[in-house]
Chains A and B, each alone.
Chain A
Amino acid sequence: MQSKYFKALFAMGIGATLAGPAFAHVTLAPKEAQAGSDAEIAFNVPHGCDGSATTALRIKVPDSVTTFKPQPKAGWTVDVKPGEVGWSGGRLPDKVTEAFRLQAVLPANSGATLYFPVVQECEKGVHRWIEIPQSTQPSERLRDPAPALKLTPKAP
């Protein structure tokens, strides 16, 4: 199968929810949201760990998000801890995708990027999506990046 890939650059400030193709990473949507707003963030889990079904998902909520609530999911037990939410006890097969939703009040500092490190536990193994770009490593493609949400300016 031949595949090509395109690179496109978007100027800053143009926000759009991009309906992307099926990523193998755990990602979140929307990619951008208004600072200070009430957002529903969906964490998409398109794959298990190297073929093994997902049995738990734990998300670290950044400190600047003080108010957050997970949405329940049938077959899963929800758990809230300071700075952390988790769904466990279920079974999401590798070839099935699912979204886990979190309601959160976003902080007011527009322009910032919020990182939500995710630990995906499976029947066999664990996959951590916790890499955050560091100032010491500019523009390095990360293997397992933490899902990120960009804060856009408040609507006037």
Chain B
Amino acid sequence: MLAVVFAAAGASVAFAHASLLSSDPADDTVLRTAPQKLTLTFSEPVDPQVLRLIDNSGAATDLSANRAGDSTLVMKSPSLVPGVHVLSWRVVSSDGHPIAGSIVFFVGHREAMRGGDMAATSVVAVRGLWISRLVVYLGLLGGCGGAFFIRWIGVGACLTARRIVHAASIGGLVFLLPATGFQGLDLFGESAAALIQPGLWTAALAGSFGGFVVCAVLALLAAIAALRLSGTAGRMVALLALLGVGVAFAATGHAASANPRWLMIPAVFIHGTALAFWIGALAPLGMALNRPTADSAATLKRFSRWIPWSLAPVLVAGLVLATVQLGSVDALATSDYGQVFLAKLIGVALLLLLAALNRYRFTDRAEHGEGTARQWLRRAIAAELLLVVLIVGVSGLWRFTVPPRLSATEESFFTHLHAEKAMADITIRPAHPGSNTVAVSLQTADERPLDAKELEIVLSNPDAGIEPIRRTAKRGTDGLWQARFDLPVAGRWTAGLDILISDFEQVSAEVPVLVNSPTRR
């Protein structure tokens, strides 16, 4: 048994303490797959007091450890979702002095499909969201657009075409449900088990996504109704369905919230509505060409006359949207958003090529009843449909990127820190859960630049049970010290600075900092 002695009056007494030599996973690492076990190796034998895993939703799991050799603790890791994880540890050395710290590691692909400042979600939620949204969009375009085509353009539309359009509308309606669920998961970074919580659903429907769901439901119901009604009533309802697509598109998404809103919202509306006309026409048109009747020739003729009125607005509106969102030409290459746009552009170019082929090579001949031309036209239309699915799928990736115009204005948290012999300006960017950069500029007590030898930045969150995370800051050419931290949760954190002024002199101080949840769409 060892005795620890306190002497009164503040004479500092040396305590023995162990120190953490290494850990597995190491601090500040990215792992492709979740680790099976977690290891902490100390400089001497220790007794574990608190061993806790905190993930990016703030959920904490207490772990129990086994000893491997005298000074090593091994813990079995629970299954970990992709994202930031903090192993917060507190142990007691042989003399009773506790030491504590945190290891931060990241599981999965950091910033694979999203802007880096958003908390990671499970891969399942991301994929699920993308697929459900894809089906919903195809349903809107094919169902509402198809209903409009059948009621306004098509002459004597056949049964199969109606069935296809009907199925598209139903599909869109059905997939709105998983889309909402996955949206909720994505918002909160939860695992699939959270789907049973009604709070998740209400939160997913709150805000603009809910607006989108309402408009989409109405538009799709209108499309189904339009097929049943006849005459003017049917046409009017079909028109409503078509316009409803534009409204649904404009209800949510990065583009509709961009400035200038008076330009962007109408642009999105036009883009969506005109697109629905074009895409919705493809399948029924293909079906109409199946039967070499005079009706189908008339249908084709009318379609050819209308299509420029849809194509031009789609392209012009799309160009306007892209220009505002990208902000600059370099953003095409440097941002995820730009990359998605390039992929979409390639798809659209191919689509236009096919459409031109249809228009100028096959249409006239098909109108005059040429059999082979019809066949080729149908094949071309099928290819167009495939391209459309790909393009809509690629566009769906935008949900997971950050438009360059947004990255330019990053949020941050700023505070000032006073110590006995030094002061510091601390800026945390973007001060959201996830990857953060802490930048520190050091000054002497009389506000002149301080040339420190070393700087350690420490972030802890006792409320969340996160022991101090220590990082050695690096000094840039501008004299600014920086360190990167992956922070799992929002809240009130404590930032500490250990400033090495000279070989023998160190100044330490702490200040509270705030990490907020990002405002999400």
Chain A interface (Cβ < 8 Å from any Cβ of B): 1-12, 18, 20-27, 31, 47, 50-51, 58, 60, 113, 115, 117, 119, 128, 130-139, 141-143, 145-148, 150
Contacts and interface: CB of A to CB of B under 8 A. Distances in A.
A21 B12 contact: no
B11 interface: yes
Given A3-B47, A18-B5, A51-B21, A23 B506 contact: no
B422 to A, nearest CB: 11
B3 A21 contact: yes
28 contacts: A1-B47, A2-B47, A5-B2, A5-B3, A8-B6, A9-B8, A10-B5, A12-B8, A21-B2, A23-B14, A23-B15, A25-B17, A26-B14, A31-B7, A31-B11, A50-B19, A50-B43, A113-B10, A117-B504, A128-B500, A130-B504, A130-B505, A136-B419, A136-B509, A138-B10, A145-B14, A148-B11, A150-B11
Given A3-B92, A4-B96, A131-B508, A23 B7 contact: no
Given A10-B5, A119-B504, A21 B96 contact: no
Given A23-B16, A117-B505, A133 B10 contact: yes
A61 to B, nearest CB: 10
A25 B15 contact: yes
Contact of B12 (A3, A4, A142): A142
A9 B9 contact: no
B17 A24 contact: yes
Taking each of B7, B93, B95, which has the highest tally of chain A beta carbons within 10 Å of its own beta carbon? B7
B3 A119 contact: no
B319 interface: no
B459 to A, nearest CB: 16
A21 to B, nearest CB: 5
Contact of B7 (A10, A119, A141): A10
B445 to A, nearest CB: 12
Contacts of B6: 7-10
Given A21-B2, A113-B10, A136-B419, 15 more contacts: A1-B47, A6-B4, A20-B5, A21-B3, A21-B95, A23-B95, A24-B43, A31-B11, A47-B43, A128-B504, A130-B505, A133-B10, A138-B10, A145-B13, A146-B12
A150 B96 CA distance: 24
Contacts of B506: 128, 130-131
**How many B residues are at the interface, by size bracket?**
35 or more
Name A's interface SS: loop
B18 interface: yes
Contacts of B94: 1, 3
Contacts of A135: 420
Contacts of A150: 7, 11
Interface in B11-37: 11-19, 21
A40 B396 CA distance: 76
Nearest to B21: A50
B45 interface: yes
A24 B16 contact: yes
- Pick from B15, B99, B420 the residue with the most CB of A within 10 Å: B15
B10 to A, nearest CB: 6
Given A6-B4, A8-B3, A132 B17 contact: no
Contacts of B92: 3
B11 A134 contact: no
Contact of B11 (A1, A11, A26, A113): A113
B7 A133 contact: no
A9 B9 CA distance: 10
Nearest to A60: B504
A141 B398 CA distance: 50
A119 B94 CA distance: 25
B104 to A, nearest CB: 19
Contacts of B420: 134-136
B1 interface: yes
B96 A3 contact: yes
B44 interface: yes
B503 interface: yes
Contacts of B21: 50-51
